[in-house]
Chain A
Amino acid sequence: MLDILKIKDDFPILKTSPHGKKLIYFDNAATTQKPTQVVEAVADYYKKYNANVYRSPHYLSTLSTESYEEAREAVKRFINAKTSESIVFTRNATESINFIAYTWGLKHIGEGDVIVLTIAEHHSNILPWQMVAEKKGAKLKYVHLDEDSRLDLDEFKRTISEGHVKLVAVQHASNVLGIINPVDEIIDLSHRNGAKVLIDGAQSIPNMKIDVEKLGCDFYAFSGHKMLGPMGIGVLYIKEDLLDDVPPFLSGGEMIDEVFEDHSTFAPSPLKFEAGTPNVEGAYGLIKAIEYIEGIGLDNILKHEQELTEYALSKLVEIDYVKLYGPKNAENRTGIISFNVLNVHPHDVATILDQDGIAVRSGHHCCQPLMRYLGVPATVRASFYIYNDKSEVDAFVDGLKDVRKWFR
């Protein structure tokens, strides 16, 4: 059991009173709130350590470089990477995926090759591959869902065995349905069929212990801001044996070995992947986010999310005008529930809940192919995290009953 009151105390923004009501923040899949520890770390960086990294030999530059490298080490430990050379800082998961599409993708994917995605992917794990497919004459194949709204592993097996698959790019957990994909099996099958695997970890990094060594994936992408960290800092993990196979993405300062008038050589990994002055305060804040999460324990976080999901589902199935999307139970899923209120547009639901201080998202959640597959233009999404509790779920369910008062 998490000590929710103590946790809530660490998040100053939770004291906000939207429209005079107590804030209930159920939009964690979009971004989580930040604990004081992270907020203060970012301020601390500028108060105590700020200078540009790697360049200057002075005192502050050494501290700044140390802060940045400490963050790389922290991430390396956090996801159990073999070497810190594999940890590349980006802006977010979107940039991490684009990074691989524009570098490894354009270099290694060719005409007639196949890229396998799932129908539930976020646009950020679709559009970069559409770009590669268009430029290189490759083909995209989508794997769909089974009757329980989970990834159809049989379809995946059929697709991968059809051959020519160069890359499988799949989300670890869905930002709409909360389903956790069987990535162990996907990675194993993909490798046995000669395909590389990129995992979009945006929705799994906040609540699951990620061990990239054990997973064996080739690329793992995530954002800091969905795991209590600052915005604008993200991570791309590149498996050690592929580091030389991935060309630099952006070029310029910091990533070079030698520059001549007509050609250049690059610094070793990971610096060759990080052109320009990086987001050092973001990386430093991320250290504190990792510490905070580890202090609670990822197993406890997922368990808490599942308890709230199960509790919310048990209340929502009782309401006949609420249509739920996704599996009917809380097993093997994160704290995300997508639903619609019959005859009420999700945007109206979200506005009415907002008047009660309840923050949810409405829309297509950057998953239009999934929405089309589900046959809806949009859904409402409630997503839970460590500072949410059952009394908030109760208020949310009451709020939904209010929605119907406006739409008879």
Chain B
Amino acid sequence: MFDVLLSEEEKKIRDEVRAFVRDKVDRALILKMDSKEKEYPSEFVKAAGKENLLGLRFPKKYGGRGLGWVSEMLAVEEVGVLGIALGCAYSLPSIIGEGIEKFGTEEQKVNYLLPTLQGTKIGGEGLTEPRSGSDFFGTITTAVKENDTFILNGEKRFVAGGVGADYFLIYAKTSFEAKPHESLSAFLVDRDDGVRVEEEYELMGCRGMGAARIVMENLEIPEANLLGKLNGGNDVFNAMMVPERLTSASGAVGMGVAALEIAVRYAHKREAFGRAIRRFEGISFKVADCATELDAARGLIYLAAKVADTGEWCRKEVSQAKTFCTEAGFQAVSEAMQILGGIGYTDVYPIEHLFRDARLATIWTGSNEVQRLIVQNEVFKEILSEDRSLKRDVELDTPGAHKTTEKVYTEDPKKYYPDKS
């Protein structure tokens, strides 16, 4: 992110994470994960936890550093250069942590949040079902109260850490009459409660995260593991979507930046027709456009992080950032591949890996199509509820403004029907 906007504390944490990414992540781990190694990168998470780099914005007593959202976004962008899988492993404690920190009991914070941020307990998120991910409120997994337990039945799909996580944050339907947003609850479900892995997915990218379909069949979950209020899953979901989507945004920018830097160095050295290819506008303008889009993307992340820091409703800014940044990130990776030409399509350079990884970012954590639905909804709400007297009425600054009969918004379809009376 741009230094001019950052505080000294923010620059310091960015540099600390940058050094961690440079020195403490074994190249062999990245290659192993991408080669369809499904084992969860627990050692990476543990190492980040040991350095106190997980969940930076959470209170120190639960393993965080009490920093702001901007710091966390800077950290995720730095980790993003490692690819989407490790970016995801780094972000999950922050995503799940948001739910536990905001809605959990003290016992849940001590038993789940603290070890998660210390990197000693791995959490997975069970949100998407085979029937849908984006249509979250149509969740069909159920939890039925029976004495002091809930009986959980259902399946969750594309669970990062489906293989490897120690526990899952699972959403289930707990009211069968109420409206969709008043009918879901969140639960902390230990793998040892009986969670079964039915399918380990072979993914195009984002490999090595144990993405799986998990099945819960008549699991008995203690009432103490209900996260937040009964039927209050909507609140947990809305809170978790902030880090879920913002980390997606930052990680994608990290991948785009990494690819662009490789492409810039390549274009500076690679020659064609007797000169470095950067001298051709076909190449150099791609660099200009990608760098501009990535900076614009960072601007949106910065804005969303600042709004999130105030604690105000920030769904529009978060969804805008998620959409724009994941598309800018993927575009930068794609253009970097174009700049490198054929060699960029091989594993001699890591662009093809980043390409496969970055492609996922526009799909997961709420597809960009759903983000656009959210953004337009927020924009309509915002503009239509505005007090128009506070601004100049620009609609009147035109010669024909007085022609009110021409300002037609609807007409009776039967207006010209023959009169039968």
Q: A and B, one complex?
A: no
Interfacial residues, chain B to chain A (CB-CB below 8 A): none
